[in-house]
Structures are given as structure tokens and as C-alpha cells.
């Protein structure tokens, strides 16, 4: 990355602007609008907007001259530099910290997909709409990805949180241990740092990545789920098996420990996860590839939509084939022991729902697939 001291040294005040600052600001704008392709406006990194509002090129020039660049914006994460080659990103993160989860990189991919979807400057001025909760959570994460931990480092707040949460998971830390560690690290950082003080504050910034799931107790023999009409039952209505682990009371009798179910089904609702595929214009377009995508070699089967089973389904369900956004999924299930060959007789039987609409290979600029 180039030395970007010119962004601040070349404009010490509104009345003092160097020729170098003007020339390099023009090059910065060329870079920004080239990366944004056909977008009329992009995020404005002036000290007034701080990458929270989108402005046209003309307005950006006025803002830069009047307000200057926002502090510490020497890495243009909102204007293309978050999208560097994946190998380079992974290598740098591994060098910095072996357990880094790369959360800011995910945000970069998401921001790239939604670049052309944000409201224009005129739309923002005409009507300021309140974003939905999931969008608000994402923008909060985006802000933390751009906010440095403190003024003496280039590590972002979100990067730091990702590394520490990765460490917690790797070493199975308790919440009390993690909170104590955060308090110690926070006391060692310069005053005014942006490191959260607890696990609760750290995970709250990752809210946009969370997806809902439900834990449902079930019969250990697989007879019924303890939900709806059976939600209050303590024994299976068919085989009479106990819903909870039974412990010996010491008098020859057993009682249920209602804190420990015998068997649990974890249900991850598919609808919110499919909705996330339509959350951006880019991924929504990919969901229509099975119908609208171009096959560059029509003699080869490159997608399940080219198979006879798919075509037979279309023939039997004419209405389903007409709408390209209808989602088709494949189910896969198999059991495995997550603890390998140890004494604990524990197995998992996940059911995977695989969306078949998506293209078979990498997607490049909405045109080419390989």
C-alpha cells in the first residue's frame, strides 16, 4: 500500500491545500468510481460523512476541500481495498494471528455485493428511511470494521474482537475468564481505545452474522418431538421413554433431571437462510442461474438443471418452472461421531439442505462462469 500521509499533510487546513493533495485526491476519486463500476455515488470518507453517506463525485470534492479526509483512513476498506486477492488476505491474517476468523473479509464480500444497491444522495435527502434491524446490525459491524482499535495501531475493532473470540473458542474459555481477560487487555491499551469490555459487548457487534435456530427435545428412540401438543409431556406418549435424564435418588427410585434432555433436535429454519441469499442484488441474480445462466458448452452437463430429473420435474409442474426465483433444494443426511473412537457413544445426524439454484463455478462480474 502506498504512503498516504499526503491525505493529511497536504491539507493542514481549508486554506492550505497543496498541489500534490489535489492531484492525488483526483486519483483517489478515479480509483473509487472505477471500483464502483457504474455507481453514480459512493461512500464519502470526509471527516463529516465518515463513510456513512453516499455522495457524487462533485460533492465529494467539495467535502474533501471543506472538511478533509476522516482520521486514520489510510487503508481504503470502503473503496475497494477490502477486496484484495484472497490468498494475500489469508496469508496476512495467518501471519498476524493463527486463529483469526476474518470477519472483516466477510463484510467486504457482502459490501461488494451490495455496492450498487444503496440509496442515492437525492433519495437520502428526500426521505431518510429507518433501516430494518438486520441492516442496522450490519452497518454497525461495518463501522467497527473501519474503526481502528486505538490511534497507535492499524488493527480494526472488529479484527480484534474476531481474534479474541477465536482464542476463546480454541481454548474453551468461560465467560468469566473471557471478561477478565478483556478487562486486563483494556487496562493495558491507551486511553480512548475501542475494545469491548465483555463477551456480551463483543458478540453484540456480530449480531448481523447470527442466524436463528431452535432446540427441540425428542424421544430417545425417535418416536416423537416434544413440541406442540407434546411440549409439556415428560414421557414419550408411544414408548414411554423419559424425556429427561433420570438420576438415582438413593432410595432405589429415579427422578428426572429436567435440565438435561435425553435427546435434542436442533432445528435451523431454512427460510431465513434462503432469504439471506436474496439479501443482495448480486446473490439474488445468482439464484436465477439455473434458468437464465449461459452454458458455454451445451454438450456437457454443468448443472443439475441440465439433467433429465430436473427437466421431468419441470414438465410435471409447469407453474414452478416459470418463476426463476423459485428455490430448489437437495437433502443429504448421514451420521457421524464427532468425538471419533472414544468411550462417549455420541453421534450426530445432520440433515443438509443444499440450494441447487446457484451457479456451478466462480462468478465474475455477472457474465462469466468457469
SS (H, E, C) 57-113: HHHHHHHHHHHCECCCCCCCCCCCHHHCCHHHHHHHHHHHCCCCCCHHHHHHHHHHH
More confident residue, 280 or 275: 275
Q: Are the CB atoms for 149 and 194 separated by under 8 Å?
A: yes
- Tell whether 282 and 358 lie within a shared domain: yes
- Tell whether 324 and 351 lie within a shared domain: yes
- Tell whether 89 and 187 lie within a shared domain: yes
- Tell whether 136 and 47 lie within a shared domain: no
pLDDT of residue 224: 92
State the residue range of the domain holding 11: 6-67
Side-chain-side CA neighbours of 359 within 13 Å: the count stands at 20
- Tell whether 219 and 193 lie within a shared domain: no
- Tell whether 88 and 184 lie within a shared domain: yes
Measured from the Cβ of residue 358, the count of other Cβ atoms closer than 10 Å reads 18
Q: pLDDT over 90 for what percent of the chain?
A: 9
pLDDT of residue 54: 86
Tell whether the model's pLDDT for residue 354 goes beyond 50.
Answer: yes
Tell whether the model's pLDDT for residue 119 goes beyond 50.
Answer: no
pLDDT of residue 1: 44
Distance CA 61, CA 246 (A): 72
Comparing 75-89, 188-202, 280-294, 330-344, which segment has the lowest mean pLDDT?
75-89
- Tell whether 251 and 344 lie within a shared domain: no
- Give the pLDDT mean for 63-82: 81
**Would 78 be classed as within a structural domain?**
no
Tell whether the model's pLDDT for residue 128 goes beyond 70.
Answer: no
- Residue 202: band (very low, low, confident or very high) from pLDDT cuts 50, 70, 90: confident
Domain tally, the chain: 4
Listed in sequence order, the residues at least 6 apart from 30 whose beta carbon sits closer than 8 Å to its beta carbon are none
- Tell whether 243 and 147 lie within a shared domain: no
| pTM of the complete model | 0.48
pLDDT of residue 226: 92
- Tell whether 165 and 251 lie within a shared domain: no
pLDDT of residue 2: 61
Distance CA 246, CA 227 (A): 20
DSSP class of 189: S
Q: pLDDT over 70 for what percent of the chain?
A: 74
Assigned C-alpha cell, 258: 429436567
Amino acid at each position: 500500500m502506498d504512503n498516504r500521509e499526503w491525505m493529511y499533510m497536504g491539507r493542514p487546513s481549508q486554506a492550505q491545500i497543496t498541489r500534490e493533495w489535489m492531484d492525488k485526491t483526483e486519483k483517489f476519486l478515479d480509483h473509487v468510481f472505477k471500483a464502483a463500476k457504474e455507481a453514480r455515488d459512493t461512500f464519502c470518507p470526509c471527516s463529516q460523512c465518515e463513510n456513512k453517506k453516499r455522495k457524487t463525485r462533485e460533492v465529494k470534492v467539495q467535502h474533501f476541500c471543506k472538511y478533509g479526509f476522516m482520521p486514520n483512513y489510510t487503508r481504503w476498506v470502503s473503496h475497494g481495498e477490502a477486496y484484495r486477492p484472497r490468498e494475500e488476505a489469508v496469508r496476512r491474517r495467518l501471519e498476524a494471528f493463527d486463529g483469526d476468523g476474518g470477519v472483516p473479509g466477510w463484510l467486504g464480500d457482502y459490501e461488494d455485493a451490495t455496492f450498487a444497491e444503496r440509496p442515492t444522495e437525492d433519495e437520502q435527502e428526500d426521505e431518510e428511511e429507518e433501516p430494518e434491524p438486520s441492516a442496522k446490525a450490519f452497518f454497525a459491524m461495518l463501522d467497527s470494521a473501519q474503526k481502528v482499535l486505538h490511534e497507535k495501531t492499524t488493527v480494526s475493532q472488529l479484527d480484534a474482537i474476531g481474534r479474541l473470540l477465536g482464542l476463546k473458542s480454541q481454548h474453551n474459555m468461560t465467560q468469566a475468564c473471557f471478561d477478565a481477560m478483556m478487562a486486563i487487555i483494556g487496562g493495558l491499551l491507551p486511553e480512548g481505545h475501542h475494545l469491548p469490555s465483555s463477551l456480551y459487548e463483543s458478540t453484540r457487534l456480530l449480531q448481523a452474522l447470527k442466524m436463528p435456530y431452535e432446540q427441540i427435545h425428542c424421544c430417545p428412540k425417535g418416536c416423537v418431538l416434544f413440541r406442540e401438543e407434546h411440549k409439556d409431556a415428560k414421557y414419550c406418549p408411544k414408548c414411554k421413554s423419559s424425556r429427561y435424564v433420570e438420576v438415582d435418588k438413593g432410595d432405589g427410585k429415579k427422578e428426572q433431571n429436567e435440565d438435561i434432555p435425553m435427546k435434542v433436535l436442533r432445528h435451523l429454519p431454512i427460510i431465513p437462510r434462503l432469504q439471506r441469499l436474496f439479501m443482495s442484488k448480486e446473490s439474488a441474480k445468482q439464484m436465477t442461474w439455473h434458468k437464465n445462466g449461459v452454458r458455454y458448452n451445451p454438450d456437457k452437463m454443468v448443472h443439475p438443471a441440465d439433467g433429465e430429473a430436473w427437466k421431468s420435474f419441470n414438465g410435471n409442474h409447469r407453474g414452478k418452472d416459470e418463476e426463476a426465483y423459485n428455490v430448489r433444494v437437495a437433502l443429504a443426511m448421514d451420521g457421524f461421531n464427532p468425538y471419533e473412537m472414544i468411550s462417549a457413544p455420541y453421534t450426530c445426524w445432520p440433515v443438509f439442505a443444499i440450494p441447487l439454484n446457484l451457479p456451478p463455478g466462480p462468478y465474475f462480474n455477472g457474465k462469466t462462469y468457469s
